[in-house]
Structure 1
């Protein structure tokens, strides 16, 4: 019996039957919904205020808005929202988890898909079929390993030295733009073409990590120098952007390392002897609980005590992000404040 007609492969095909389709913020106008939410209460009013603050950041010609991204919303259908924010000049820099950038965005740029789970399935059955699960979303593990090996190929073509994650991801975008992308218009490729730097402060905690480890092991075995990721350079480079930008705004989906990393640039600038303004505009969309002292590092008001975020224009939205991000993104797109913005193309700082 051939490999593609085995019961196991038939089950895998049935499990990976429905692809996740990414929402298009240009195809619908969320302004009437946001306008209605502004007159409501609870999370609806918080969402409307978050949308207003994001639009204020876009209208402020002196402000550089950053996208801070954690969690799995890219796999869940918001991938093109973030791509279009960069494409249309709503975002000047991205700080994200490695998984959001590599396992999700770069993965799809290679021509692979994320899939909807039809219903509850024993995770041991998924493992037997080489299917990885993110809540109700599936990834083909064999395709993800292809992503690992592609990272290895990119490593092997680069000079063996230290790279910031920003610099390595720029090389990934360059590789895609050279005709290697199976799916054009990924976040990585768009950011590369628009001069928008992407930082992953915990870059190896992703599919890229496996490719990097294999690269180093093979080089060590051959007695050759190898490439490495310089996390300190990440912090220095993003702080350089904060200093150059002056006024900044944060649009944060989730929290964790990307959130704290972006906020800490204010403190880092001060350590370097540069008086930097706190992030003037800040929105965080999260379901994290504050009672354990976490909330993906802190609430935005708490961050003010550290000198990171100004509390005049800040809003926490306690909601599952895939229900909120498409509304705020569409609202901003159709209000059009991005049309008058000058793209700073911060990647030029490192050319």
Structure 2
């Protein structure tokens, strides 16, 4: 899964190979926070992975394969274990769909007691009229049984102007100080 690959990147950085102490990938590894990137190859790193795979294939050696199905399954495992959940989505696309769909996937896997995401906030500049926003608002996600309509909010704004306000508010309220760490990455060890 992309989570396993990114975790190995974090381990490599922690083994003295990193140049910065505050690398997000390194900090996530140190604090057992899984990072998922279901569309990992849709990035500049994807070129390197394609080159790796082709070179290793030509040499008759094993190569890395990132499994998007494993990403979906592992995200669903976290949803099942987490219980009550909420979503803060910056933008949309693949990550938005994967996280929302964990509720439906859990039900398909026989976990009929998994509740919908209780809270959902999406910050986006996308507009559903032209197919953007995956043509799906949070109201539409509620119709599929993915999120609750009681506490959902579409925020049509540029994320770099809104996210710092949300992060500052969360930091200053201080609820994080007494909240137990979840360490979801340990689920997969």
Of 97, 108, 118, the residue aligned with 1:260 is 97
Distance in 1 separating the partners of 2:129 and 2:135: 12
What is residue 251 of structure 1 aligned with on the other side?
88
* Shift in Å, 1:302: 1.1
Of 167, 182, 187, the residue aligned with 1:344 is 182
Question: Unaligned 5+ residue runs, structure 1?
Answer: 1-163
What is residue 322 of structure 1 aligned with on the other side?
160
Distance in 2 separating the partners of 1:174 and 1:301: 40
Alignment deviations for residues 149-198 of structure 1 (CA, whole Å, 9 cap, x no partner): xxxxxxxxxxxxxxx00000000111111112112212111111110101
Alignment deviations for residues 111-137 of structure 1 (CA, whole Å, 9 cap, x no partner): xxxxxxxxxxxxxxxxxxxxxxxxxxx
Of 206, 223, 232, the residue aligned with 2:60 is 223
Q: How does 1:1-351 map to 2 (within 5 A)?
A: 164-275=1-112, 276-351=114-189
Distance in 2 separating the partners of 1:238 and 1:297: 23
Please tell me the root mean square deviation across aligned C-alpha atoms, in Å: 1.1
Question: Unaligned 5+ residue runs, structure 2?
Answer: none
| Matched position secondary structure for 2:128 | coil
Distance in 2 separating the partners of 1:318 and 1:182: 37
Distance in 2 separating the partners of 1:288 and 1:188: 28
* Shift in Å, 1:297: 4.4
Query: Which TM-score applies when normalising by structure 1?
Result: 0.52
Higher fraction of strand: 1
Query: Is the 1:260–1:297 Cα contact (8 Å) retained in structure 2?
Result: no
| Matched position secondary structure for 1:252 | strand
Distance in 2 separating the partners of 1:221 and 1:302: 47
Off by >3 Å, runs of 4+ in structure 1: none
* Shift in Å, 1:207: 1.9
Query: Is the 2:57–2:63 Cα contact (8 Å) retained in structure 1?
Result: yes
Query: Is the 2:129–2:135 Cα contact (8 Å) retained in structure 1?
Result: no
Distance in 1 separating the partners of 2:142 and 2:173: 29
